[in-house]
Chain A
Amino acid sequence: MTSQEILNVVKLLLEYLVPTLKVFGFTLLFSVPLGMVVALLKMCKFKPISYLTNIYILIMRGTPLMLQVIVAFYAVPMLKNGEGTPQFIVNLLNNIDIKDENYMFNAVLVAFVLNYAAYFAEIFRGGIESIPKGQYEAAAALSMTRTQTFFKIILPQVVKRVVPASANEVITLVKDTSLANVVAYAEITLKAKQQMQLYSSLVPLFIAGAFYFVLATVLTIVFSYVEKKLDYYK
C-alpha cells in the first residue's frame, strides 16, 4: 500500500471509531447501574428472585457474547414471522421497526448491556459481600437508615474494592466491541476487514489493532490513576 492509501485507511477507520465508541460508551452507561441492580437482586433474600437472577447471570456468562449479539439482532424478525409466537408478543414486536436506522445499534446494545451487566453484577456482589458485617452494625447503632447505610457507608467502600476487577471488564469491553461486526454493524473491525479485501493487504487490520491498543492503554492508565486516587485509606 502506498502511504497515501494508508493515510486514507487511517482516516476511514478514524471515522468508524465513532460507532465503536458508541457501543463502548452506551454499554458502560447502562450495564454498570444495571449490574448493581442485578447484584442486589441476586442477594435478595426472597429465593425465587435470587434463583432467577442467577440463571440469567449463568446464561450470560456461559454463552458467547457473539452468539448473544446474533440472537438479539435476529430475534425480532424471527419471532415476528415465527409460527408459534403468541399474539401479544407479535403485537409487542410490531412496535419495533427493523428497518429503522437505529435498529442494528439498539440490538447490538441490548446484547452488550445484558452481557456486561451480568459480569459487573458478579464483581459488585463480591464487593458488597466483602464488606464486614460490623460496618452495617456500626451504621445501625448510629441510627442510620438502610438507604443511608448503603449509599454513605457501604457503596463507597465497594467502589474501591471493585475498581481493579471492573477495570479489566472495561478494557475487555473495548476489544469486545469488535464482535458487533458479526451482524454487519459498521465499526472499526468491519471496515478494516473490507479495506483488507480492497487492498489485498494486512495493513488495515494492523491499523485497526493499533486503534484498539491505544484505547486499551489509555484506559489502563486512567484506571491505575483512579486506583491510586482511591488509595487514601486501607
Chain B
Amino acid sequence: MAMLEVKNLRKCFGDLEVLKDISFNVEKGEVVAIIGPSGSGKSTLLRCINQLEKASDGKISVCGMDMLEDNPKGSGVVYADARLLRDIRLKIGLVFQNFNLFPHFSVLRNITEAPMIVLKKSKEEAEKTAIELLKKMGLEAKADSYPCELSGGQQQRVSIARALALSPEILFFDEPTSALDPELTGEILKVIRKLADDGMTMVIVTHEMAFARDVADKVIFMENGVIVEEGAPEQLFGNDATERTKQFLQRFSQG
C-alpha cells in the first residue's frame, strides 16, 4: 500500500494555475526528493498535502485514508470530515525552510507541547521522548535554551525533533537547508540521512543535488506546476534523462 497517493492534483491561486495535474506515489520507507526551479510549485504541493492550502482538483490519500477527492457531483473537491483530516494530519510531519520554532518556548517545550496538548501525553512521557530525540539530534545540552540562542542549523534540528515527536509516518521537508549558511547545511543533511537509514518515509524538496542523488530512492523533477520527469536518481542524474532535466541540472551546477 502506498503511504501517499497524489492523483491529478491541481491548485489554482485565482487565475494562476500553480499545480497542473500532479500524480505520484510514495511507498513505505521510500525517500523521495523533489527538485526544480523556484516558482515551480514545490512548496505549494507540500502545503496542499499538509492541509495548509486547499487543493482545487484531484485526489490525495495518506496511509490509505482519503483526504480529498474530486467532487462526484461537479467541479472542485470534497475534503474528508474534520476528524479524518485530523487523523491524516497526525500521520504526516512538516519541516519548514524557516524552522518556525515557537520563540517563547524552550527547546524542550517546543518538542513536548504538541504531544502533550494534541496526543494528551503526560509531561514525563513527552519529555522522555523529547530528550531521546534531542540526543539523536546531538542537542541534549540545549534542552533548556531558547530558539533565539541557537544557530540556524541547531534550530532546524530542533524543528525536525519537534515534527518527529508526534511519530509521523511520513516526514516532509521544504528546502530544509535553504535558510542556512552553507557550512551549516551539512549537519541537517546528516540528520536526514540518518532518518533515511532508520527507514523513515520522507519527501524532501531540495536544491542539494548531490544529496538528492545520494539519499533519494526516487527523484521528481518539477517545473511550471507539472512533473517533468520522475525516476531513480541514476536515471535523472544520468545520461538518459530528458533534455529538460539535463538543462536544469546543468544550469544548476553552473550556479
Stretch at the interface among B111-119, B189-197, B245-253: B111-119
CA distance A157 to B98 in the complex (A): 18
CA distance A234 to B101 in the complex (A): 12
A-contacting residues, B114-172, CB 8 Å: 114, 117-118, 146-148, 159, 162-163, 166
Are the C-beta atoms of A140 and B103 separated by less than 8 Å? Answer: no
Given contacts A138-B100, A156-B104, A160-B104, is CB(A233)–CB(B147) below 8 Å? yes
Nearest chain B CB to A136 CB, angstrom units? 9
A148 at the interface (CB under 8 A from B): yes
Nearest chain A CB to B102 CB, angstrom units? 6
Specify which of A144, A156, A157 is in contact with B114 (CB 8 Å cutoff).
A144
Are the C-beta atoms of A157 and B104 separated by less than 8 Å? Answer: yes
- Residues from chain A with a CB closer than 8 A to the CB of B51 are 140
B93 at the interface (CB under 8 A from A): yes
Q: Mark B42-67, 1 if CB is under 8 A from A, else 0.
A: 00000000111000000000000000
CA distance A232 to B53 in the complex (A): 34
Nearest chain B CB to A152 CB, angstrom units? 7
Are the C-beta atoms of A233 and B52 separated by less than 8 Å? Answer: no
A142 at the interface (CB under 8 A from B): yes
Interface residues on B, range: 20 to 34
Count the A residues whose beta carbon is within 8 Å of the partner chain — how many? Answer: 19
Nearest chain A CB to B47 CB, angstrom units? 8
A137 at the interface (CB under 8 A from B): yes
Are the C-beta atoms of B102 and A143 separated by less than 8 Å? Answer: no
- SS class, residues of chain A in contact with chain B: helix
Are the C-beta atoms of B118 and A142 separated by less than 8 Å? Answer: yes
Specify which of A134, A152, A160, A233 is in contact with B113 (CB 8 Å cutoff).
A152
Residue of A nearest to B115 (CB): A142
- Residues from chain A with a CB closer than 8 A to the CB of B102 are 135, 138, 153
B244 at the interface (CB under 8 A from A): no
Are the C-beta atoms of B96 and A138 separated by less than 8 Å? Answer: yes
Nearest chain A CB to B46 CB, angstrom units? 10
CA distance A142 to B98 in the complex (A): 16
CA distance A152 to B110 in the complex (A): 11
CA distance A132 to B96 in the complex (A): 13
B207 at the interface (CB under 8 A from A): no
- Residues from chain B with a CB closer than 8 A to the CB of A214 are none
Given contacts A141-B94, A143-B114, is CB(A157)–CB(B52) below 8 Å? no
- Residues from chain A with a CB closer than 8 A to the CB of B104 are 156-157, 160, 233
Given contacts A143-B86, A233-B104, A234-B148, is CB(A148)–CB(B96) below 8 Å? no
Residue of A nearest to B119 (CB): A143
Are the C-beta atoms of B52 and A140 separated by less than 8 Å? Answer: yes
Nearest chain B CB to A52 CB, angstrom units? 28
- Residues from chain A with a CB closer than 8 A to the CB of B90 are 143
Are the C-beta atoms of B94 and A144 separated by less than 8 Å? Answer: no
- Residues from chain A with a CB closer than 8 A to the CB of B146 are 232-234
Residue of A nearest to B92 (CB): A141
Given contacts A153-B102, A233-B103, is CB(A141)–CB(B93) below 8 Å? yes
Residue of A nearest to B113 (CB): A152
B89 at the interface (CB under 8 A from A): yes
- Residues from chain B with a CB closer than 8 A to the CB of A234 are 103, 146, 148
- Residues from chain B with a CB closer than 8 A to the CB of A233 are 103-104, 146-148
- Residues from chain A with a CB closer than 8 A to the CB of B86 are 143
Residue of B nearest to A160 (CB): B104
Are the C-beta atoms of A142 and B96 separated by less than 8 Å? Answer: no
Are the C-beta atoms of A135 and B166 separated by less than 8 Å? Answer: no
Nearest chain A CB to B113 CB, angstrom units? 7
Specify which of B100, B103, B117, B166 is in contact with A137 (CB 8 Å cutoff).
B100
- Residues from chain A with a CB closer than 8 A to the CB of B100 are 132, 134-135, 137-138
Residue of B nearest to A137 (CB): B52
Binding site for B on A (CB under 8 A): 132, 134-135, 137-138, 140-144, 148, 152-153, 156-157, 160, 232-234
Instruction: Jot down 19 A-B pairs with beta carbons below 8 A, ordered by A.
Output: A134-B98, A137-B52, A141-B93, A141-B163, A142-B118, A142-B162, A143-B114, A143-B118, A143-B166, A144-B117, A148-B117, A152-B113, A152-B117, A153-B102, A160-B104, A233-B103, A233-B104, A233-B148, A234-B146
The 6 nearest A-B residue pairs measured at CB: A138-B100, A142-B114, A134-B100, A234-B148, A141-B94, A233-B146
